[in-house]
Amino acid sequence: MAMSAGAKGEDAPMSDINTTPLVDIMLVLLIIFLITVPVVLETVELKLPDVAFEPTTTKPENVNISVRAGATPGSCEVYWGQAPVDSRELLKRGQDKLEKLLKDIGGPQNITEENFPEVHIRGDINTPYQCIGGVIYTMQYAGFQKIGFISEPAPGSATLGRL
């Protein structure tokens, strides 16, 4: 409790602020937050589904790209089909493929989801992210809209046909 030794007289109003109730309220709020924060941060227990692989149907117009780490640290090896390419060559081949598609189907008004090629990237498990990220960026810049990853299921894993 705050107490004033009356130098001005007993009837004079006290001009000091009593901080004791403020400190009490702050301590109560601190205790409430300390109790509720761990409850809010708890995660919900989930059983994630087992991985099932769906066989990919490859259309002839799709682009297959393989990416792996290069011989020197930080370098990448990128292959368009079986041919090694650098980033400029990858961009040029991607743009050329889409230009040829537009010419073959008669213009951009005839593009549908069924006739637009996809990019399938096969990345080695030890490939740095920057290598695969660079390929994704380059192919998107070339104009491809669908980019997917090809993976190999673990031996004995389930496929959708066997579920």
Contacts of 130 (CB under 8 A, 6+ apart): 74, 76
- pLDDT tens digits along 13-66: 777 888 888 899 999 999 988 887 776 665 556 565 555 666 666 777 888 899
Nearest to 66 by CA among 159, 150, 161, 153: 150
Is residue 142 within 8 A of residue 98, CB to CB? The reply is yes
pTM to 2 decimal places: 0.59
Go through the domains of the chain in sequence order and give each one's CATH number.
63-149 (3.30.420.270)
- pLDDT tens digits along 76-106: 899 998 889 999 999 999 999 989 988 888 8
Nearest to 120 by CA among 53, 61, 52, 54: 61
